[in-house]
């Protein structure tokens, strides 16, 4: 069915199609609309889930952990400080191997209070063991949320998945949305290690160094296997519903001399910048990074690279720029742009490419190349 929706509504609609057993959530701007919409679906009887309105994000994730361990499909949504408040439980969910799906509406962190887009919230959860995907359109927010359940619940993965969408720049903008009847794409779910009183086990007890170390390795092994599972699920989704995705979305990259790497809505904006640059005779391409964990294998041999980070690791550098450098050996031009929702147009992005300084870093609107 074709409709018009915001990014938040698209996530809520995907959750409705996925039919979770339990949804636990706390409202926080700018994701509030997701949990409001889901509450409406549950109240109207359009979605037969248990909706647990908790008192904090720490409790939201704790309730999701309990529900998922209880064996049912589980969802929550959060943003920014909410995500940081649940940080402890974000680790716990992955360590407990629970396929929880969470939408995170990317937003800056205080102080000062800033509700606009930034990726620092998600990156602060980088090492928790969650898979992380960043979307760029309303349609992709819907599709990625549906696929997230299938990826998380695959027995080769059994790790939680975070679907990231930019605050306001995507959460609150409207675009056309094609919804689907998932049918057996998402069959009814029961966790293989669900709690069972017929077979009493302890979960998460005291664990010595050797066993603990093995559990960590199991997470990493699943994270590596997840690359193949993501590809399988995205291929199946494309066959069934006609929309295909990959670890990156590459645009005019084949013959490009210079490639812009960005995430979320800026990655989509970069495609317009590429068209503009091509008109000027600059052979540019765009490689929008969709999956941040597991980090994709990038082929950038022989290319110049401009990385736009809507984040920063203080005292170190842009997180994506450094990830690209350490994974590929390419020395990118690192642009820090869009923090706290700073407006970055395709003209600006084209400007970053024209004025690139490989190996240098520049804070857009604040500093020159350093």
Partner 1 sequence: MSAIPKEEYLFKCTSACAGCSSSLCLRYVLKAAGPDTILVVPACCTSVIQGMYPGTAMNVPVYNIAFGAAAACASGLSNAFEARGEKTNVIVYAGDGGTGDIGIQALSGALERGTNFLYICYDNEAYGNTGMQRSGSTPLGARTTTTPGGKPTVKKDLDRIVEAHNPPYMATACSAYPLDLYKKVKKALSIEGPKFIHILAPCPPGWRYPAEKTVEMGKLAVKTGTWILYEREFGKLTINGPSKTAMKKPVPLEDYVRGQGRFKNVSPEIFDMMRQQVEQNIQRLSREEAGVC
Residue numbers of the site for partner 1 (CB under 8 A)? 21-22, 24, 49-50, 52-56, 58-60, 62-72, 74, 88-89, 92, 195-197, 200-208, 211
Nearer to partner 1, 57 or 269 (CB): 57
CA atoms in the 13 A half-sphere facing the CB of 279: 8
CB of 190 to partner 1, least distance (A): 8
CB of 195 to partner 1, least distance (A): 5
Q: In this structure, are residues 17 and 46 in contact, taking their beta carbons and an 8 Å threshold?
A: no
CB of 153 to partner 1, least distance (A): 15
CB of 124 to partner 1, least distance (A): 18
Could you tell me which of 329, 328, 314 has the C-alpha nearest to residue 361?
Answer: 314
Nearer to partner 1, 85 or 312 (CB): 85
Phi and psi (nearest 5°) for 330? -75, 140
Nearer to partner 1, 15 or 69 (CB): 69
CB of 157 to partner 1, least distance (A): 20
Looking only at the bridges linking them, the beta strands covering 361-363 and 333-336 are parallel
Nearer to partner 1, 41 or 134 (CB): 41
Task: Kindly state the tokens that stand for 295.
Answer: 């980090």
CB of 20 to partner 1, least distance (A): 9
Nearer to partner 1, 113 or 212 (CB): 212
Helix 209-241 vs helix 87-95: crossing angle, to nearest 10: 90
Nearer to partner 1, 81 or 227 (CB): 81
Nearer to partner 1, 22 or 133 (CB): 22
CB of 276 to partner 1, least distance (A): 49
CB of 142 to partner 1, least distance (A): 24
Listed in sequence order, the residues at least 6 apart from 131 whose beta carbon sits closer than 8 Å to its beta carbon are 148, 151, 152, 157, 159, 160, 161, 162, 223, 226, 230, 291, 293, 294
CB of 100 to partner 1, least distance (A): 10
Buried (b) or exposed (e) across 87-123, using 16+ Cβ within 10 A? eebbbbbbbbbbbbbbbbbbbbeeeeebbbbbbbbbb
Task: Kindly state the tokens that stand for 183.
Answer: 């049918």
SS3 for 25?
Answer: strand
CA distance 12 to 118: 21
Nearer to partner 1, 47 or 122 (CB): 47
Nearer to partner 1, 189 or 292 (CB): 189
Could you tell me which of 156, 162, 130 has the C-alpha nearest to residue 222?
Answer: 156
CB of 274 to partner 1, least distance (A): 45
Nearer to partner 1, 10 or 65 (CB): 65
What is the number of other CB atoms lying within 10 angstroms of the CB of residue 170?
A: 28
Order of strands, edge to edge, in the sheet holding 22-25?
50-53, 22-25, 74-78, 101-106, 161-166, 131-134, 291-293
SS3 for 129?
Answer: coil
Identify the H or E element spanning 291.
Answer: strand 291-293
CA distance 94 to 284: 38
């Amino acid at each position: 069915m074709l409709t018009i929706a915001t990014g938040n509504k698209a996530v809520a609609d995907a959750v409705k199609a996925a039919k979770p057993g339990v949804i636990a959530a706390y409202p926080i701007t700018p994701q509030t609309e997701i949990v409001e919409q889901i509450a409406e679906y549950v109240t109207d009887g359009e979605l037969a889930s248990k909706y647990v309105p908790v008192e904090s994000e720490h409790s939201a994730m704790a309730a999701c952990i309990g529900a998922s361990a209880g064996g049912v499909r589980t969802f929550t949504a959060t943003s920014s400080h909410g995500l940081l408040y649940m940080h402890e439980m974000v680790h716990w969910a992955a360590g407990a191997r629970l396929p929880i799906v969470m939408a995170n509406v990317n937003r800056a962190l205080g102080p000062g209070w800033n509700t606009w887009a930034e990726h620092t919230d998600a990156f602060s959860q980088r090492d928790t063991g969650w898979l992380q995907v960043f979307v760029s359109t309303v349609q992709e927010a819907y599709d990625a949320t549906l696929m997230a359940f299938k990826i998380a619940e695959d027995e080769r993965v059994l790790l939680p998945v975070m679907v990231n969408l930019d605050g306001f720049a995507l959460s609150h903008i409207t675009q056309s949305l094609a919804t689907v009847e998932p049918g057996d794409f998402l069959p009814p779910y029961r966790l293989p290690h669900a709690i069972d009183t017929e077979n009493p086990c302890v979960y998460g007890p005291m664990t010595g160094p050797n066993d603990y170390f093995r559990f960590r390795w199991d997470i990493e092994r699943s994270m590596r296997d997840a690359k193949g599972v993501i590809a399988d699920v995205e291929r199946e989704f494309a066959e069934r519903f006609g929309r295909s995705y990959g670890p990156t979305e590459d645009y005019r990259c084949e013959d490009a001399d210079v490639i812009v790497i960005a995430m979320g809505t800026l990655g989509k904006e970069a495609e317009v910048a590429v068209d503009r640059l091509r008109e000027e005779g600059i052979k540019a391409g765009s490689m929008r990074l969709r999956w941040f964990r597991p980090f994709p294998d990038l082929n950038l041999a022989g290319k110049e690279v401009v990385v736009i980070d809507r984040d920063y690791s203080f005292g170190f550098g842009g997180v994506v720029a450094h990830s690209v450098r350490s994974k590929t050996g390419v020395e990118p031009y690192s642009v820090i742009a869009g923090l706290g929702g700073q407006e970055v147009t395709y003209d600006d992005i084209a400007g970053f490419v024209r004025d690139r300084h490989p190996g240098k870093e520049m804070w857009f609107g604040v500093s020159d190349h350093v």
